Amino acid sequence: MGASAGPTRDLSGLGRGRGGYSGWRSRSRSPRAPATAPVLNYSVRVLGRAHRDLVEIRDYLGSDSPEAAELVEKLLSASEKLEQLPRWGAVPRDARLKGPGFRFRAVGSYLIFYKILRKQVRVYRVLHGRRAYEDIL
């Protein structure tokens, strides 16, 4: 007679997160306690070159075009959201960008490149994803 392997767990209801199962709970927290983190607002600063990028995008698509205005508004809105979610963007794979601390957030075909410095998010560039951005930054 073999030894019992112990009780089994039904894992079918648990979702998979990036770091493994997202459904596990910490033993130190009550199941009814909200799992909210304090909201820390950062300031967002769009640097001059990023601002010029936005103007160039608008001009390229047509300064009178409603689509251009809508795209620039989406890019600005995504930049503003970095106030509350500065780590929302991904870390680049390229060591030349990763080393200095760049992060990026994709909005449609465009990439917003930024760094988190203390309590400030600095937006350095807004570029089309097909550009060779590794050499531009």
- Domain annotation covers residue 65: yes
- Domain annotation covers residue 105: yes
What is the average per-residue pLDDT within 14-34? 40
Sheet holding 120-128, edge to edge: 43-46, 120-128, 110-117, 102-107
- Domain annotation covers residue 21: no
- Domain annotation covers residue 107: yes
CATH number, domain with residue 55 = 3.30.2310.20
pLDDT tier at 36, thresholds 50, 70, 90 = low
CA dihedral sign, ordered 117, 120, 125, 131: positive
| Whether pTM exceeds 0.85 | no
- What is the count of structural domains for the chain? 1
- Domain annotation covers residue 25: no
Specify whether the CB–CB gap between 75 and 98 falls below 8 A: no
Which residues span the domain enclosing 72? 43-136
Give 88 or 33, the one with higher predicted confidence. Answer: 88
pLDDT tier at 65, thresholds 50, 70, 90 = confident
